[in-house]
């Protein structure tokens, strides 16, 4: 089974979705399961994981509703307020939905770059293990050092780094990012999504060779058993779209063994998110 482990749905709202600026005009509209389904079919992908884009419980409910209505949406990564003293009750509430597989917070957007190390936040994250839920780590490279401490201090939770931590592919800044990624990969409960890379490159002029040094680092650090494919659709539409984005990883993983390719394209996501 092939799984797209990272994509989004939304009903576009210009105020809520103010992060979608003019250069990103290609995604200034609604995106629903009926838009994604033919794309997945074209690439023989059997299912997907819908990930939160807005920080609200309304978003979590919206995604869970879409997942219930669409069998190919195998799982949802939602949002709760981890700073809420009653966060455990909110996690318990949403965990009753069988398609809820994890949670995420937009750490990359926090002015406090070490936000994840707040004791209240960490306490909320630690509660996920009681419900067998995973946590998606959305960060920029300047937060990798804090992420290392974060993962080190919370045991029993499955973590996945989204978008290979968004390195500066456009300017080929790799060394510091690579060193920090290797440190995090030493923890067995840390995984990585090979997703979102095209939006960190030169949107109009990227080439396959731009990504290969970064992919080398990820596969060497995490191994073929802790990496998974994600499209970051529809965000990938600003930098070439699904077909061009997937061709990067198809070309790269073609050199892997049949078993490693099966793990990358689906088995790892199924194992990580406990997909049915």
The answer to whether 214 and 197 are in contact (CB under 8 A) is yes
Mean of pLDDT over the chain? 97
Give the pLDDT mean for 174-178.
98
Q: Judge whether residue 276 has pLDDT over 90.
A: no
- Residues 61-109: pLDDT tens digits? 999 999 999 999 999 999 999 999 999 999 999 999 999 999 999 999 9
Measure the CA–CA gap between 52 and 133, rounded to whole angstroms. 15
- Band of residue 121 on the pLDDT scale cut at 50, 70, 90: very high
- Band of residue 20 on the pLDDT scale cut at 50, 70, 90: very high
Q: Judge whether residue 168 has pLDDT over 90.
A: yes
DSSP annotation string for the chain: --EEEEE--B---TTTTTTS-GGGGGG-S-B-HHHHHHHHHHTT--EEEEE--SSSHHHHHHHHHHHHH-TTEEEEEE---TTSTTHHHHHHHHHTSTTEEEEEE-GGG-SSTTGGG-HHHHHHHHGGGGGT-EEEE---GGGHHHHHHHHHH--S--EEEGGGG---TTTT--HHHHHHHHHHHTSTTEEEEE--GGGGS-TTT--HHHHHHHHHHHHHHH-TTSEEE---BTGGGGGT-HHHHHHHHHHHHTTS-HHHHHIIIIIHHHHHHT--
- Residues 188-203: pLDDT tens digits? 999 999 999 999 999 9
Give the pLDDT mean for 21-42.
97
pLDDT at 225: 98
pTM, 2 dp = 0.97
């Amino acid at each position: 089974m092939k799984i797209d482990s990272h994509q989004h749905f939304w009903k576009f709202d210009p105020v809520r979705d103010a992060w979608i600026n003019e250069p990103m005009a290609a995604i200034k509209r609604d995106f629903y399961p009926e838009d994604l389904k033919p794309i997945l079919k074209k690439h023989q992908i059997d299912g997907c994981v819908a990930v939160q884009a807005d920080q609200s419980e309304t978003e979590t409910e919206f995604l869970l509703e879409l997942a219930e209505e669409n069998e190919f949406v195998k799982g949802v990564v939602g949002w709760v307020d981890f700073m809420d003293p009653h966060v455990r009750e909110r996690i318990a509430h949403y965990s009753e939905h069988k398609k809820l597989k994890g949670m995420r917070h937009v750490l990359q957007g926090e002015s406090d770059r070490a936000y994840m190390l707040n004791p209240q936040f960490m306490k909320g994250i630690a509660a996920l293990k009681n419900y067998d839920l995973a946590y998606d780590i959305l960060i920029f490279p300047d937060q990798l050092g804090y992420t290392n401490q974060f993962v080190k201090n919370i045991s029993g939770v499955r973590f996945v780094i989204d978008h290979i931590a968004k390195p500066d592919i456009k300017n080929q800044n790799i060394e510091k990012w690579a060193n920090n990624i290797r440190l995090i990969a030493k923890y067995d409960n840390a995984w990585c999504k090979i997703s979102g890379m095209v939006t960190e490159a030169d949107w109009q002029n990227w080439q396959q060779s731009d990504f290969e040094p970064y992919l080398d680092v990820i596969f060497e650090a995490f191994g073929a058993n802790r990496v998974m494919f994600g499209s970051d659709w529809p965000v990938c539409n600003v930098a070439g779209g699904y077909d061009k984005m997937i061709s990067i990883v198809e070309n790269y993983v073609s050199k892997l063994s049949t078993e490693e390719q099966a793990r990358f394209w689906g088995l790892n996501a199924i194992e990580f998110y406990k997909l049915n």
